[in-house]
């Protein structure tokens, strides 16, 4: 299995046994997360910006306004991108050992602006399909003005690592006999009832691919 080389930049230092450098494991986290945070330094000041992302092989695509400082700065500059999935609240017998079960990924690379209109349109299709498979061919595509207003950064993933915590609390031996409940409260993503746009001129049924998406997530 392909792995990312462990370097000073991507090595997990705190609780290193939770570190994972397998490319497939990192990409599973990237592909499941709906949002990411992009960290960069501009004019000597650090910034962390949340945004949409999609993955094309070993390249991460980042979405934003073409006028945003993240998009303007990201071209040819180093970026650090993170995603975190929270799976449960870990309740220990001591306050010190309370924790979270999570899966996180940290990716490094230099940004490249996507300026070719066809490539940018393809990237916007990937963003849309990532949010809802089947949606891209059901909606109006961006026009020339919207395409110009949208920025897309391609970041070849040069280095990455995952960090994962799972399982029950890890209490000290002397605390095991305390009369305190300990365990894990699992957290799962759920769906509410669909809410149709109240301003829609026509009452349309929800598309089949939307229900398919919901069912696939519930089955998973």
pLDDT tens digit sequence for 40-68: 988 889 999 999 999 999 999 999 998 89
Q: Check residue 23 and give its pLDDT.
A: 96
Residue 219's pLDDT band (cuts 50, 70, 90): low
Burial of 75 (0-12, 13-18, 19+ CB in 10 A): middle
Beta bridge pairs of residue 159: 108
pLDDT tens digit sequence for 169-184: 999 999 999 999 999 9
pLDDT tens digit sequence for 78-113: 999 999 999 999 999 999 999 999 999 999 999 999
Residue 155 has a CB neighbour count (10 Å cut-off) of 23
Closest of 17, 9, 24, 3 to residue 107, by C-alpha: 9
Name the percent of the chain lying above pLDDT 70: 99
Three-state secondary-structure class, residue 72 = helix
pLDDT tens digit sequence for 13-23: 999 999 999 99
Within 147-215, strands assigned E span 150-156, 159-165, 183-186
Confirm if 144 and 101 have CB atoms less than 8 A apart: no
Name the percent of the chain lying above pLDDT 90: 83
| pTM score | 0.91
Place of tokens 């230099």: 110
Residue 39's pLDDT band (cuts 50, 70, 90): very high
Residue 220's pLDDT band (cuts 50, 70, 90): low
Distance of alpha carbon 115 from alpha carbon 130, whole angstroms: 21
- For residues 107-136, average pLDDT: 95
Q: Where are the domains of the chain?
A: 16-190
Closest of 186, 1, 4 to residue 106, by C-alpha: 4
Longest dimension (CA), the chain: 67
Q: In angstroms, what is the C-alpha Rg of the chain?
A: 21
The sign of the dihedral angle between the CA atoms of 117, 57, 166, 216 is positive
Confirm if 103 and 110 have CB atoms less than 8 A apart: no
In this structure, CATH architecture of domain 16-190: Roll (2.30)
| Contacts for 136 with CB less than 8 Å, ≥ 6 apart | 125, 128, 129
């Amino acid at each position: 299995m392909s792995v990312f080389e462990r370097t000073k930049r991507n090595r997990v230092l705190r609780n290193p046994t939770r570190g994972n450098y397998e490319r497939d494991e990192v990409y599973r986290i990237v592909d499941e997360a709906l949002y990411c945070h992009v960290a960069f330094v501009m004019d000597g000041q650090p910034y962390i910006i949340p945004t949409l992302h999609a993955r094309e092989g070993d390249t991460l695509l980042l979405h934003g306004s073409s006028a945003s400082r993240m998009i303007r700065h990201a071209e040819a500059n180093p970026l650090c991108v993170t995603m975190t999935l929270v799976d449960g609240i870990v309740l220990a017998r001591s306050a010190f050992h309370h924790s979270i079960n999570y899966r996180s990924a940290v990716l490094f690379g230099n940004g490249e602006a996507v300026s070719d209109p066809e490539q940018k349109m393809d990237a916007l299709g990937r963003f849309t399909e990532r949010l809802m498979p089947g949606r891209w061919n059901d909606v109006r595509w961006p026009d020339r003005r919207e395409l110009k207003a949208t920025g897309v950064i391609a970041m070849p993933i040069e280095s990455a690592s995952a960090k994962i915590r799972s399982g029950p609390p890890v209490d000290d031996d002397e605390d095991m006999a305390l009369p305190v409940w300990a365990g894990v409260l699992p957290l799962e993503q759920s769906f509410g009832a669909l809410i149709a746009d109240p301003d829609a001129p026509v009452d349309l049924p929800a598309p089949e691919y939307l229900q398919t998406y919901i069912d696939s997530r519930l089955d998973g």
